[in-house]
């Protein structure tokens, strides 16, 4: 039999959820508390992406491979852009396309993630930061599949692996942090201004040509131009990938500049996202 004191304690156990005001704490520990929800959203995104697709996960390979073929013909054979050393252009471009597609797809998904999960946001409470984080991390599945093709290309061109590959996890983390930093700004803005989602494909296209994907970063003049160029976080990521996998020019101070920009963009993006979070359920 339940005592009266137990009933009173149960009645007093009430959680009061109120919208945050001002520049509140980020409460990043909540991400760990809701890690199962993050896992569920990642798995849901992967299954939906390839549901009823005739080629299935092959689409994770087709996109970077076909882009590499087009770039190799136009920029490698016709334009004859130089690579770093004697690296064959197909491998040179594919190594850059791996982190680029990881970043671009993560940015696209995170930028529209809040609007795409409107039904979830308006029905239950959870840290809204879970949604863009899960959208960014889900791209690792496609990246892992496409990476197997790179190993085949390197074996075909007799390019050896080196211990520099141990730096890849940090470079992958930097690419994901870049996508999350920009995605936090875009996803929060997209809730209020839906034309942001139409701007994202244009933004990623311009961003790609501002990154050393089809060309070597050595083409950028030294001095102030190199510093300005390094403000693009993907410059350090792509340079790092080519160095870690192909033994190309080692990342210089540009990697430090790119990392500093990511930290600044991510910190401001987190605070902006938290500030706007209280309005998501009302507007989305």
What global pTM score does this model have? 0.87
- pLDDT (0 to 100) of residue 279: 81
- pLDDT (0 to 100) of residue 156: 94
- pLDDT (0 to 100) of residue 211: 94
- pLDDT (0 to 100) of residue 22: 45
pLDDT along the chain (284 residues), means of 10: 50 52 62 88 84 71 92 92 89 95 94 89 86 92 92 92 92 96 93 90 93 90 85 93 88 84 93 86 73
What secondary structure, in 3-state letters, does the chain show?
A: CCCHHHHHHHHHCCCCCCCCCCCCCCCCHHHHHCHHHHHHHHHHHHHHHHCCCCCHHHHHHHHHHHHHHHHHHHHHHHCCCCCCCCCCHHHHHHHHHHHHHHHHHHHHHHHCHHHHCHHHHHHCCCCCCHHHHHHHHCCHHHHHHHHHHHHHHHHHCCCCCCHHHHHHHHHHHHHHHHHHHHHHHHHHHHHHCCCHHHHHHHHHHHHHHCCCCCCCHHHCCCCHHHHHHHCCHHHHHHHHHHHHHHCCCCCCHHHHHHHHHHHHHHHHHHHHHHHHHHHHHHHC
């Amino acid at each position: 039999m339940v005592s009266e004191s137990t009933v009173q304690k149960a009645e007093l156990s009430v959680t009061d959820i109120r919208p945050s005001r001002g520049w509140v704490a980020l409460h990043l520990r909540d991400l760990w508390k809701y890690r199962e929800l993050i896992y569920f959203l990642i798995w849901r995104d992967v299954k939906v992406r390839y549901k009823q697709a005739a080629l299935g996960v092959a689409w994770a390979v087709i996109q970077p491979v076909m882009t590499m073929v087009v770039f190799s013909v136009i920029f490698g054979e016709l334009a004859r852009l130089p690579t770093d050393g004697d690296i064959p252009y197909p491998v040179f471009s594919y190594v850059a396309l791996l982190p680029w597609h990881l970043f671009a797809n993560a940015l696209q998904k995170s930028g529209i993630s809040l609007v795409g999960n409107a039904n979830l946001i308006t029905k239950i409470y959870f840290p809204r930061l879970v949604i863009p984080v899960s959208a960014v991390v889900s791209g690792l599945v496609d990246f892992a599949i496409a990476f197997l093709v790179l190993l085949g290309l390197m074996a075909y061109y007799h390019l050896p692996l080196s211990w520099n590959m141990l730096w890849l996890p940090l470079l992958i983390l930097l690419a994901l942090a870049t996508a999350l930093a920009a995605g936090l700004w875009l996803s929060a803005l997209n809730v209020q201004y839906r034309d942001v989602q139409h701007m994202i494909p244009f933004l990623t296209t311009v961003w790609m040509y501002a990154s050393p994907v089809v060309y070597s970063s050595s083409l950028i003049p030294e001095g102030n131009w190199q510093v300005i160029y390094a403000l693009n976080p993907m410059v350090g990521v792509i340079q790092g990938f080519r160095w870690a996998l192909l033994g190309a020019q080692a990342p210089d101070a540009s990697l430090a500049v790119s990392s500093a920009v990511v930290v600044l963009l991510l910190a401001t993006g987190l605070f902006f996202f938290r500030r706007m979070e209280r309005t998501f359920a009302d507007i989305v």
